[in-house]
């Protein structure tokens, strides 16, 4: 629309004025909509003086690294360095089973990797990139600035969410936050206007600590856990797309449980893993209701999972709302 087009043009002008004609900027892409739209916008404004990085921490969904690579390089023509940090991240998670400690270990490693990226860039350019592009939205701004005198530090500190994937101020960059005045639906419209494909725009949110909060306990305890989780999750998500349910749901995912149950597969007694499925409706993730699938859909998904994933003999569906549950299981 005209409104969005003029908002886009004025944003580009603002970004060019702020960054200037010679300075460089860095941006960490998460694979989500916000950072992708922010980076696309800045790339339009300053071209290849924008340097993006995407970190594969070994906790991503099935084929996510390849999908992201294709999306950024082929569709959006964004210059992006992909860093495979799976091994080093999983090493840091060995023996860690407390959910908050897992989040901290992932957040700290992400910052370390990002810093190394920025230092290498500085050596290559001969000077430091001065700007950091972030996909902060208006609701994030409100949430991190509670009303004065409320005595609140954060609006809710049940989980240390906003620390993971965010970068601390002490890294010394000037922030560029082109989405700071926008709500999610406006960001989506802006993305579409700039040619970000609709399937990407409509992706469900994915947490910074990724599959670590969907693989309960020590993620390295069972060597195949993350792969089993990826396979189950992919079957579930593909079924949502096939049955045209994906867009009715805020988030949907599988959870790997570190327990085994008895089953019978091909006349044999089996002792295998249980997986949980979760699908919720929500408008902001703060409260949520579980999605009412038809029994037939759940039966189909359960059959596909137990037929295709040999490590799983039982599938359960999470029927709790938030509150009292949270969206993620950890």
User: How many secondary structure helices (H) and strands (E) does the chain include?
Assistant: 10, 9
Buried b (16+ CB within 10 A) or exposed e, 264-295: eeeeeebebbbbbbbbbebeebeebebbebee
The residue (of 135 and 165) whose beta carbon lies closer to ligand XMP is: 165
Pick from 31, 135, 178, 209: which binds ligand XMP (CB under 6 A)? 209
Options 37-45, 135-143, 200-208, 240-248: segment touching ligand XMP (CB under 6 A): 200-208
103 makes contact with ligand XMP (CB under 6 A): yes
Q: Is 34 exposed, middle or buried (0-12, 13-18, 19+ CB in 10 A)?
A: buried
Sign of CA dihedral 188, 193, 195, 199: positive
The distance of closest approach from Cβ of residue 279 to ligand XMP in the complex, given in angstroms and rounded to an integer, is 12
165 makes contact with ligand XMP (CB under 6 A): yes
Pairing of strands 25-29, 50-56: parallel
212 makes contact with ligand XMP (CB under 6 A): no
Instruction: Supply 300's token pair.
Output: 């189909």
The residue (of 213 and 275) whose beta carbon lies closer to ligand XMP is: 213
205 makes contact with ligand XMP (CB under 6 A): yes
Instruction: Supply 118's token pair.
Output: 């920025």
Q: Is 34 annotated as a binding residue?
A: yes
Pick from 164, 254, 275, 277: which binds ligand XMP (CB under 6 A)? 164
Residues 310-329 touching ligand XMP, rule: CB under 6 A, are: 322, 326-328
Question: Phi/psi at 272 (nearest 5 deg)?
Answer: -140, 180
Options 70-78, 156-164, 231-239, 260-268: segment touching ligand XMP (CB under 6 A): 156-164
- The length of the chain is 330
d(CA 74, CA 72): 6
232 makes contact with ligand XMP (CB under 6 A): no
The residue (of 135 and 207) whose beta carbon lies closer to ligand XMP is: 207
Instruction: Supply 13's token pair.
Output: 């002008």
276 makes contact with ligand XMP (CB under 6 A): no
Instruction: Supply 233's token pair.
Output: 């999750």
d(CA 214, CA 206): 11
Give 59-71 as a DSSP string. -PPTTHHHHHHII
135 makes contact with ligand XMP (CB under 6 A): no
Q: Is 172 annotated as a binding residue?
A: no
Options 71-79, 143-151, 203-211, 306-314: segment touching ligand XMP (CB under 6 A): 203-211
Q: Is 165 annotated as a binding residue?
A: no
Options 124-132, 167-175, 201-209, 258-266: segment touching ligand XMP (CB under 6 A): 201-209
139 makes contact with ligand XMP (CB under 6 A): no
Pick from 24, 49, 61, 159: which binds ligand XMP (CB under 6 A)? 159
The distance of closest approach from Cβ of residue 308 to ligand XMP in the complex, given in angstroms and rounded to an integer, is 25
List, in sequence order, every beta strand (DSSP E) within the chain.
25-29, 50-56, 80-84, 131-133, 174-176, 251-265, 268-281, 289-290, 312-317
**3-class secondary-structure state, position 275:** strand
Contact footprint for ligand XMP (CB under 6 A): 103, 158-159, 161, 164-165, 205, 207-209, 213, 251, 285, 322, 326-328
Which residue ranges make up the annotated binding site for ATP? 30-36
Which residues are part of a known binding site?
30-36
């Amino acid at each position: 629309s005209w409104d969005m087009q003029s908002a886009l043009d004025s944003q580009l002008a603002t970004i060019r004025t702020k960054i200037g004609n010679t300075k460089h900027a860095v941006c960490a892409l998460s694979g989500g909509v916000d950072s992708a739209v922010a980076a696309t916008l800045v790339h339009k404004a300053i071209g290849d003086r924008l340097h993006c990085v995407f970190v594969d921490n070994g906790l991503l969904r099935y084929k996510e690294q390849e999908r992201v690579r294709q999306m950024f390089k082929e569709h959006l023509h964004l210059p992006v360095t992909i860093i495979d940090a799976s091994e080093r991240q999983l090493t840091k998670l060995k023996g860690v089973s407390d959910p908050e400690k897992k989040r901290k270990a992932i957040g700290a490693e992400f910052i370390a990797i990002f810093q190394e990226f920025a230092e290498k860039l500085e050596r290559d350019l001969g000077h430091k990139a001065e700007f950091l592009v972030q996909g902060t939205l208006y609701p994030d701004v409100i949430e991190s600035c509670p009303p004065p005198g409320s005595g609140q530090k954060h609006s809710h500190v049940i989980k240390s969410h906003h620390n993971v994937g965010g970068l601390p101020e002490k890294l010394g960059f000037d922030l560029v936050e082109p989405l700071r005045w926008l709500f999610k639906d406006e960001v989506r419209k802006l993305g579409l206007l700039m040619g970000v494909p609709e399937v990407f725009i409509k992706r469900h949110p994915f947490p910074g600590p990724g599959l670590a909060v969907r693989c309960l306990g020590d993620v390295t305890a069972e060597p195949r856990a993350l792969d089993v989780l990826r396979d189950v999750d992919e079957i579930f998500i593909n079924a949502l797309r096939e049955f045209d349910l994906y867009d009715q749901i805020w988030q949907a995912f599988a959870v790997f449980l570190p327990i085994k149950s008895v089953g019978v597969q091909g006349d044999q007694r089996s002792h295998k893993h249980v997986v949980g499925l979760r699908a919720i409706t929500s408008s902001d993730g703060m409260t949520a209701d579980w999605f009412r699938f038809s029994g037939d859909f759940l039966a189909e998904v359960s059959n596909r999972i137990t037929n295709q994933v040999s490590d799983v003999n039982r599938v359960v569906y999470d029927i709790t709302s938030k509150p009292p549950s949270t969206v993620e299981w950890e």
